[in-house]
């Protein structure tokens, strides 16, 4: 299985309402058929210096991730709903054992 992890730091002007909208958008995105599991959420502010938000998506294999990465719905959400909020993004994909 492939695990895709994204960490976001928002621009200073991003408010709670905008993040609520992002939560709803990502909940809708989680219904894409190539996604096995999709989790996301705000930092709990338990430690200084953390990023603001995390997104974790699981895929059956690299091919499923690649379909997701090029999916028009995903790309539109990225362009219209995520990038305007984000000052900094870090991501990685790694193999995650099933079971």
pLDDT at 69: 96
pTM listed for this prediction: 0.92
Q: What is the pLDDT of residues 35-60, one digit of tens each?
A: 999 999 999 999 999 999 999 999 99
Q: Are 20 and 81 in contact (CB under 8 A)?
A: no
Kindly report the length of the chain. 99
Output the tens digit of pLDDT for each of the chain's 99 residues. 999 999 999 999 999 999 999 999 999 888 999 999 999 999 999 999 999 999 999 999 999 999 999 999 999 999 999 999 999 999 999 998 876
């Amino acid at each position: 299985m492939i695990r895709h992890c994204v960490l976001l730091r928002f621009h200073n002007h991003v408010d709670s309402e905008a993040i609520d909208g992002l939560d709803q958008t990502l909940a809708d995105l989680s219904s894409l058929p190539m996604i096995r599991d999709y989790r996301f959420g705000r930092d709990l502010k338990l430690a200084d210096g953390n990023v603001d938000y995390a997104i974790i998506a699981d895929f059956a294999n690299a091919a499923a991730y690649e379909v997701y990465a090029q999916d028009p719905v995903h790309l539109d959400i990225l362009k219209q709903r995520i990038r305007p909020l984000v000052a900094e993004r870090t991501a990685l994909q790694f193999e995650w054992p099933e079971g």
